[in-house]
Amino acid sequence: MARPRSIVLLSAGLDSAVNLQRAHDETHVVRALTFDYGQLAAAPEIAAAHAMCKRLRVRSLVVRLPWLKRISKSALTADEDALPQPRQGGLDSAAAQETARAVWVPNRNGVFIAIAAGFAEALDCDLIVAGFNAEEAATFPDNSSQFVRAANRCLRLSTLRHPQVLSYTQHLDKVAIVRLGREIGAPLDLVWSCYRGGGEHCWRCESCLRLKRALAAADAWSWFRRCWVGRD
């Protein structure tokens, strides 16, 4: 039986790296799409995504959306001083709702899926693989299973081929995603999760704090740091 054909949304963060590996193992990945919408971390995200795709021999494409920055008031597309720096203990509190609003980009995942659906239909693909997770679904509704179900209902009407959105990590928290990634050999050593655009993770923004907490809980923090030291 032929493998399903897929388009992967690849930001090169933890979730998308693990989903890329699962898609590579279980489907024929036709393209990995990385989006540049003027975010601070665009350059390191694109570089990390390219490295992952090179390792897995997957064709990659950068889709540039400069207009999304122009209409956005998100801290992700402003200067680095605007990025919130929550406390580690505040990631699961009401304060997380405030930081989520600060980094919200208008309809970002909706836009990404719509574009990926165009590629999926044009390239005869069955799946759009995205890196969603249960942990951030609590504060980012476009990470939730409800969002995926709604997107799939829409694609049944907006496309003729009816590609479906799938996330292998939809119901997992970040700790479980790290463990899954190590189990299946995902390119976790190449992950870029930081909201900032420097040469190293800042370990102060929300995304960095979630990654660090997950790596530590999965006994992978020292391993990850050694990977980055060895890269210098």
Segment 36-56, tens digit of pLDDT: 999 999 999 999 999 999 999
The pTM is what? 0.94
Instruction: Give the CATH number for residue 181.
Output: 3.40.50.620
Q: How many helices (H) and strands (E) does the chain have?
A: 10, 5
Q: Is the pLDDT of residue 232 over 60?
A: no
Cβ contact 202:196 at 8 Å: yes
Helix (H, G, I), strand (E, B) or coil at 36: strand
Burial class (CB in 10 A: 0-12, 13-18, 19+), 19: buried
Please state the domain count of the chain: 1
Q: Is the pLDDT of residue 179 over 90?
A: yes
Containing structural domain, residue 223: 5-231
List, in sequence order, every beta strand (DSSP E) within the chain. Answer: 5-9, 28-36, 60-64, 127-129, 164-166
pLDDT in the model for residue 138: 86
Query: What average pLDDT score do residues 78-83 get?
Result: 79
